Amino acid sequence: MKSFRKELFFNTPRRRGYINITHQVQQCIVESGIKEGMVLVNAMNITASVFINDDEAGLHADFEKWLEKLAPEKPYSQYNHNGYEDNADAHLKRQIMGREAVIAITNGKLDFGTWEQVFYGEYDGKREKRVLIKIIGE
């Protein structure tokens, strides 16, 4: 069995955003030479997420509205966590959207269903963060 590890880096210009990282993940699979196996795509920060869904702008806007209803950014005083920081909502949004995705690799490609794509979700941006790509297989 072979193993491959790489980190991707992101720095979003706004506090929140979604980036389609499917191409970068597929490129890692090509670099690894692994044809059959699994890829772990893991947000390496507690205020960011990785998830699988459709790349449709209306859906991304719906995520934003829904998450803001569940964990509104303001007022900052509503959260016990906010004292030295103002990002409690980002921690909660990450908890909802998830930490990682594990995807099958078949014939050297991401083995997706219809419309599935991999996304990096940012909830407390404007600074560099990492995503771990870990691939195992043959």
Q: What share of the chain is helix, strand, coil (3-state, %, to 5)?
A: 30, 35, 35
pLDDT tens for residues 35-90?
999 999 999 999 999 999 999 999 999 999 999 999 999 999 999 999 989 999 99
Does residue 4 have a pLDDT over 90? yes
Of the candidates 3, 47, 44, the residue with the CA atom closest to the CA atom of residue 131: 44
pLDDT tens for residues 88-108?
999 999 999 999 999 999 999
Residue 113 in 3-state DSSP? coil
Superfamily of domain 2-137: YjbQ-like (2.60.120.460)
Give the model's pLDDT for residue 68: 98
Distance between first and last Cα of the chain: 5
The angle that helices 57-70 and 88-97 make with each other, rounded to 10 degrees, is 120
How big is the chain by its Cα radius of gyration, in Å? 16
Give the model's pLDDT for residue 84: 86
Residue 115 in 3-state DSSP? coil
pTM value?
A: 0.96
